Structure 1
Amino acid sequence: MLHRIRVPQIGPGRPRKKPDSLAADKAYSNGPCRTYLRRRAIRHTIPENPDSQAARLRKGSQAGRPPGFDEEQYKKRNTGEQAINWLSTPGL
């Protein structure tokens, strides 16, 4: 799904294929998604899945650093998602 992203262009020109940043829920907190976003230099705010966190802690120092997480940015994701759900509700 991530490779289908198109960011609308203001004015003439093709749509961009790379957003400035991405906020997603825990379902996208896996290695392949995070690697894809890093490779394309897309900043992302994705909470770490508890299973992934436990596995990382079990591995100790060999597991690497925990992924960064910006709570304020994540709160904005929730607000945007609720607005889209409200606008797409039939009968409004």
Structure 2
Amino acid sequence: MGKLTKENIEKKLLKYPDWEYFDDAIHAEFEFENFKDCFSAMSRIAFECEALNHHPNWSNVYNVLSISLNTHDVGGVTEKDFKLAAAIEHIVEPEE
């Protein structure tokens, strides 16, 4: 899996307005109603990470989850990161 160019990344990010590209990774921050809801989302995300065998750099402070995705093997962002970002978006965004 090859590293995506900055132009490809920025084009793909148009579908993910909560995400930004810097420091060779894509980053997002999600705020929840409370700690329990945030931790619940993290648990669901963890199952997706295991299924994709791709794991984020993330942190949680009370009701805020900060996530950074990149593919360490290539030193940048790949399709694998966008696949996980899509799964994360599906988990954290409310269904309409």
Same fold? TM cut 0.5: no
Whichever structure has more helix as a proportion of its residues is: 1
TM-score (ref. length: structure 2): 0.25
When normalised by structure 1's length, the TM-score is: 0.26
More strand by share: 2
Which has more radius of gyration?
A: 1
